[in-house]
Amino acid sequence: MTSPSRSIHVVAAVITDARGRILLNRRTGNSDMAGLWEFPGGKREPGESSEQALVRELREELGIEAEVGEWVMEVPQLYPDKRLRLEVRMVRQWKGTARGREGQAITWVNADKLGRYSMPPADLPVVAALHQPECYLVTPDAGGGAEGWLAGLESAIDGGLRRVQLRTPAAADRAELARTAVARFGRQAELLLNRDIELARELGVGVHLGGEQLLQLDARPLPGSQLVAASCHDLAQLQAAQRLGCDFAVLGPVQATASHPGALALGWGGFEQLRERVSLPLYAIGGLAPADVVTARRHGALGVAAIRSLWPALQPA
């Protein structure tokens, strides 16, 4: 794909009402991607701040005077005719009654129903950021044996982690340990088994695919009720993950790591260049910690995935 010369910065709002519903705008027949639903907003003009642009756009589109709230994320997205950067802000307070002033339909949607609406590629990562965990634990492959590993997993989940890739210790009976982990913690967190599709199907949990597995599969390996994720390191793997209908992917390494000493680090610039070519929710991985979530979201990630910085026994005292 030839990179387009036109770059635009769009500011959009996640507008919530007293019931926690979120407002979506439907693109009209005269616009790009007509018929798709999106978070309302528009292009930031020269000389405008993001706040000024969003206030103006919401006044023009919806007839409301908005109080712009906290920053959510930024999504770089490459379209055939432009390179877009979507900046997203929360709006919880406004004056007036929202209505489609430009002839567009609007609707209020419960947050857990957003996935039912067809949306432009840049808006899809935002939906993920609104209700999916910002940290994804990858359990270490060794240390403390089976009981020590289970104790570490319990501590991590008790500490608030809600999405975990289970890589069981090599010395253990991996299938039996996975069954134990699912029995103990499957109601408290989203668990995904590393690579083992058949065992994931048996246990009713998710699977996390390796990059080479992606290229060997012709269809999503589990039903929609079970999460499917993947580790990706290049564009071909990302595109395969999207084609298979993966729920999210992990992309990296962003920085050099001890666990993959020979891997070439992408850096945040390299991460963005891959991020903008797919619409999948992505976690950044590689030398990152919870403190890097904001940075990750500035480059279009849902959050960070990590081993060392999220596993209690490996964190500095």
**CATH code, 307:** 3.20.20.70
The answer to the question of residue 252 being in a domain is yes
Q: Are residues 257 and 295 in the same domain?
A: yes
In 27-150, beta strands by DSSP E = 37-38, 41-43, 65-67, 71-79, 82-91, 93-95, 106-109, 135-138
Phi, psi of 72 (to 5 degrees): -105, -60
Packing angle of the helix pair 174-185, 145-158 (nearest 10 deg): 30
Phi, psi of 177 (to 5 degrees): -65, -40
Q: Which of 127, 159, 178 is the last residue of a domain?
A: 127
Domain that holds residue 96: 7-127
Distance between CA atoms of 178 and 193, rounded to whole angstroms?
8
Q: Which of 127, 160, 175 is the last residue of a domain?
A: 127
Q: Are residues 240 and 307 in the same domain?
A: yes
Please state the domain count of the chain.
2
Report whether 260 contacts 253 (CB < 8 A): yes
The answer to the question of residue 209 being in a domain is yes
Q: Are residues 211 and 261 in the same domain?
A: yes
User: CA separation (Å) from 62 to 49, 65, 100, 113, 191?
Assistant: 20, 9, 5, 22, 41
Torsion over CA of 12, 14, 18 and 21, rounded to 10 degrees? 120
Give residue 170's pLDDT: 72
DSSP 16: B
Q: Are residues 191 and 225 in the same domain?
A: yes
Phi, psi of 245 (to 5 degrees): 80, 30
Q: Are residues 40 and 148 in the same domain?
A: no
Give residue 151's pLDDT: 93
> What's the helix, strand, coil split of the chain in %, to 5?
30, 25, 45
Q: Are residues 111 and 188 in the same domain?
A: no
Q: Are residues 115 and 11 in the same domain?
A: yes
The answer to the question of residue 256 being in a domain is yes
Tell me the longest C-alpha to C-alpha distance in the chain.
Answer: 64
The answer to the question of residue 215 being in a domain is yes
Q: What are the residue ranges of helices labelled H in 167-246?
A: 174-185, 197-203, 211-214, 235-244
The answer to the question of residue 104 being in a domain is yes
- List of the chain residues with pLDDT < 70: 1-3, 5, 142-144, 171-172, 258-262, 314-317
Q: Which of 75, 109, 127 is the last residue of a domain?
A: 127
Distance between CA atoms of 284 and 135, rounded to whole angstroms?
10
Distance between CA atoms of 198 and 298, rounded to whole angstroms?
37
The answer to the question of residue 2 being in a domain is no
Give residue 2's pLDDT: 59
The answer to the question of residue 1 being in a domain is no
Q: Are residues 65 and 144 in the same domain?
A: no
Q: What does the pLDDT look like over 96-155, one tens digit per residue?
A: 999 999 999 999 999 999 999 999 999 999 999 999 999 999 999 766 688 989 999 999
The structure's pTM equals 0.94
Q: Are residues 169 and 278 in the same domain?
A: yes
Phi, psi of 75 (to 5 degrees): -120, 115
Radius of gyration of the chain (CA): 21
Report whether 192 contacts 229 (CB < 8 A): yes
In 51-134, beta strands by DSSP E = 65-67, 71-79, 82-91, 93-95, 106-109
Q: Are residues 57 and 193 in the same domain?
A: no
Give residue 317's pLDDT: 54
The answer to the question of residue 175 being in a domain is yes
Distance between CA atoms of 102 and 120, rounded to whole angstroms?
19
